[in-house]
Chain A
């Protein structure tokens, strides 16, 4: 078997195992292979996802071996003078699709196929449009698979401990109050939780494996459904069901844009596929990426300076312009921008970016393992993944939009995190803020930097969520940090693994120490990835003369400080200092090994996964998949003057940016230490001093209020009008028509049984009278029936005869 087939088989297995698990788990009780008090469903789920992890990991290693590990090592960066495509791992001919994966890898990584792709199954064909299930495997897919399955395995294990309350016939939900002072009681739903988790893993992996944008959309909606199910897991709690609805509806808003983008693509480009395929009859169907980017990764834009008249010429994989008869096939530049913005709107919803960010904090109503897996590490990062995967389709104007959205989001969310007191809410806002960083990174041309941060963030954020889950479980479902404090004595493993995560996200490093070993500062993963983003942002703002773009660098820099501040505030409030609530402290305890072991494993990766920084294996692996070569700067003058910096530009300013970011992080950490550990100043005093700002932040920048006034209430008003119309007008019409139908059908019956027979009775009365004496076995009706034959013939003949042409 060739490399592509092997990779496909391994990843398909990893993808489908959780689906099999889901089917078995959801019917655990019906099929009677398990019972409500059994952990078997969880063990099955762990087995499925664990096997999936092994498959993914072996796929990654197999790929590395087959490609002589070219993707794992840094590439020597030549100066641009040596040639345009000399320094990149993505030479032109490697962009060619390799559905058969036939080319053997040689020492010259020029011949290493950049990706493997193919089609599983054709769902339907509408004219030229094929709806297919495709697969597309490059190093990004492999990294995502390994990361998702690994984290999911850890979280499944953790959840086995965390959800053990559900292993009961009578689960009493203390947060649902019934009249009369009782709590709501229901049977435990342990198996259902793991079934949903398995379904989520299947959907998420399907999203990553998808080879066309429509398939991405399918799994995009599936992860949305899983998220809905998991947020609303405690469906009896009003807050949980509301939060689930909110998450789903906000995502629909983004998906609306996504759908518009899809429609633009299908009408103007005619395909959903990422890659090119050769059909059975030898014709080549060019995929999206080749159509827009040709063979050299550049947009082939017409020379027309006016943006409304500019068009992008569509090309095939060899760089030749496609023609339709004699006219070249093109797509309007504006349409391309619109499609890009549309698809990115989907990302905004899924990744909780401004202005659709408000659903993610509410989504913390779900059980904590869900928050760790779905709402920090994987699903919300799917938006970033999509932006990364779809990067070749984005013209610079869209990238600028992405950068600004990311920039606003990261700042807004970080400021709210500063005042949040619920331990999970802090992490939720931190997640939004970090997703903003990733978007910013992609937007300013740091493609690999953004995805780098995606992976590192997945590790340290899932670690911190699990640690917070451990705290919550240890403190008997207390989530308010103001009631904690000093917990590091009670739960040391949780506290110190959490500290690793906090250091990682804050981006602290010890400059100089690690240089000898790694050529990089000694630091945890977050430092490296955030560094890469900030460096790209600095390069971007330096290259673009527009002073406004400076905020794309300054804001993330300041926010790096804020990040360090609120994360250390969280850690100090929870684990350091004196216990604030004796009751909570007394009952706090460390959790069993099944919950702490995942913490330890994840903390190792949170610390070390990005080892080597931008020369390390992880970054190299990701940048190997880059579909748009970033050797050159890319300039667009159409809507606004935009220069997308190259790799080298970012490298040049790396030192400056890294230093400044580190400085900001240290400043934030120091302030947090002074305020919350040393208590130099009482934070309450500051709160009183800045009352207006504080309230504004506590109210989450009043976004919820704004949306309530702007959308929810008008919706309710329109809805009540519609309801009125429905009840007063439509229902009346409907009921009337139903009544008429009934009356008519009753009349029909009467006609059939009464009138018809009656008429015949009338006509054939004399005959009947005559035949009465002959009646032996006869009931009047039979004769009438036969009568109808004669009547029918006569009537039909008469009717047709009169209709004959004269």
Chain B
């Protein structure tokens, strides 16, 4: 009996799970090599960034192979291939495959950027890359998590290295202070989330995503849907509290108002490379995980749960609208580029959260019996994925150009960008493309992403009108954001370079110039050739709504 169990476990692990966890293993191998290098002293011979890059490329290649094999496999017939692995702690589907692909592509880009911009220096290289790869392993776990335990584990694994990276520039008071704030805030949020998880798991007796929805249905299935029954009222209150607390953990990762306070300080204190990494990678992973968790909870339900879910959806929508508005308004008066981008990150988290809100509202309608809404809510996830894909390039572009400009003029103040447009055209045109895309102007990718999310909000508005209000606020925010983004371009192009300022020569055909083009050209491609990613995003989103 035990023998049989062990054999099957061994078989499953070696034949399937290890292959599916290949990218994580490749990154881990990279980390081990980096640490050994420091220990045995061969980091002087092989620069650590090459080891890190090799690990990242290997992981990316593996995830690409997994992605293609997933897409060439028929989703209905392949019980063997898709589904849970590692004894049900993780799950594998096209959605996870796509987000993992995004993350590892992004990791490769960030590593290339650190090589180009020279942060970190040779002394700190192994430590920095160890932390970076470690954080990404955590994020990869987040994408495939299938258990509340893995939710916590993944988030913490992604967060803890981030804290250290935020304070990475040693000797800078601002950086250390930011890291400390980050740590304390993160610890608080993690504690609250853990409490929420324990409440939920305790109430349901399981942490498995496949089970959560069903058990909730059982728990609430036989009551009449009112709070008059004191036992039920207590249960629903507990459920609500658990969900709110879990949400706080996500809100911290996503820097959702009012859990955003760490963001501006950390982004300003940390190097721009780290800021870019945090603003894109941890958001992508957190959104993927949030989507999974929300769908796990909402996979089934009764009439009373439907009302609860609708309220939760609207609440998330309101929080999203507040976040977007707050981020945009606060960005308006910033003078530091990184701090402005931090608030812009908050605003964009708000936009993306709107997709989640739309999905929740549509799902609550689906629980109510309108099965046609499944396709619509899969469109919301498709929009979210597309937005993440574009966001990867446009935000990384903005941060990396900030870093490259910093290397030239040793400043990150917007004021010091005056007249730069004519001295470093590649950087400034690239920055222009990123910012226009962040605003959401056609024909750039940001426009398509926003359009998809707003279309989902429009759909969700037929279930509950409040989504149309959120849509209107989202549209208004796009207008608001125009001012502060264009202010940067105005400074770059419409003001003279002050006398005595450093003269910048930035050749287009250098490796840094090519890097800028490599990052910014996809923004245009994604805006023009939408099918390139939207087909993959649609397939990835559809599998989440199969049952």
* Interface positions of A (Cβ within 8 A of B): 741-742, 744-746, 748-749, 752, 777, 779, 781-782, 785-786, 788-793, 796-797, 799-801, 803-806
Contact = CB atoms under 8 A, between A and B. Distances in A.
Contact of A789 (B226, B259, B329): B259
B368 interface: no
B188 interface: yes
B332 A742 contact: yes
A806 B227 contact: yes
A789 to B, nearest CB: 5
A312 to B, nearest CB: 38
Contact of A785 (B181, B225, B227, B311): B181
Contact of B188 (A742, A779, A786): A786
The secondary structure that dominates the A interface is: helix
A789 B192 contact: yes
Given A741-B332, A749-B330, A806-B227, A801 B237 contact: yes
B294 to A, nearest CB: 15
Contact of A741 (B185, B311, B480): B480
11 contacts: A741-B483, A746-B333, A785-B181, A788-B259, A789-B248, A793-B245, A793-B248, A796-B247, A800-B312, A800-B315, A804-B307
Contacts of B240: 797, 800-801, 804
Task: Give the interface centre of A790, A793, A797, A801 by most chain B CB atoms within 10 Å.
Answer: A793
B188 A745 contact: no
A721 B332 CA distance: 34
B262 interface: yes
A187 B244 CA distance: 70
A745 B329 contact: yes
Interface string B400-411: 000000000000
A745 B332 contact: yes
A309 B237 CA distance: 71
Interface in B344-397: none
A752 B333 contact: no
Contacts of B132: none
A796 B192 CA distance: 13
Contact of A800 (B226, B244, B248, B262): B244
B486 interface: no
Interface string B197-224: 0000000000000000000000000000
Contact of B226 (A744, A748, A777, A806): A806
Interface of B: 177, 180-181, 184-185, 188-189, 192, 225-227, 236-237, 240-241, 244-245, 247-248, 251-252, 258-259, 261-262, 304, 307-308, 311-312, 315, 326, 329-330, 332-333, 480, 483
A689 to B, nearest CB: 64
Contact of A805 (B225, B326, B333): B225
B330 A745 contact: yes
Nearest to A799: B315
A777 B262 CA distance: 17
Contacts of A799: 315
Given A748-B326, A752-B330, A796 B244 contact: yes
A791 to B, nearest CB: 8
Contacts of A748: 326, 329-330, 332-333
Contacts of B304: 805
Nearest to B306: A805
B188 A789 contact: yes
A781 B177 CA distance: 11
A741 B315 CA distance: 26
Nearest to A791: B258
Contacts of B311: 800, 803-805
Contacts of B258: 788, 791-792
Nearest to A779: B177
A796 B315 CA distance: 9
A745 B185 contact: no
B241 A797 contact: yes
Contacts of A803: 311, 315
A250 to B, nearest CB: 31
A806 to B, nearest CB: 6
A743 to B, nearest CB: 11
Nearest to A796: B244
Contacts of B237: 801
Contacts of B483: 741
A749 B185 contact: no
Nearest to B225: A805
A785 B184 contact: yes
A751 to B, nearest CB: 9
A725 B252 CA distance: 49
Which 7 pairs show the lowest CB-CB distances between chains A and B?
A745-B332, A748-B329, A786-B188, A745-B329, A785-B261, A789-B188, A805-B307
A793 B248 CA distance: 7
B188 A782 contact: no
A742 B333 CA distance: 8
A793 to B, nearest CB: 6
A663 B240 CA distance: 102
A7 to B, nearest CB: 31
Contacts of A804: 227, 236, 240, 307-308, 311
A407 B23 CA distance: 78
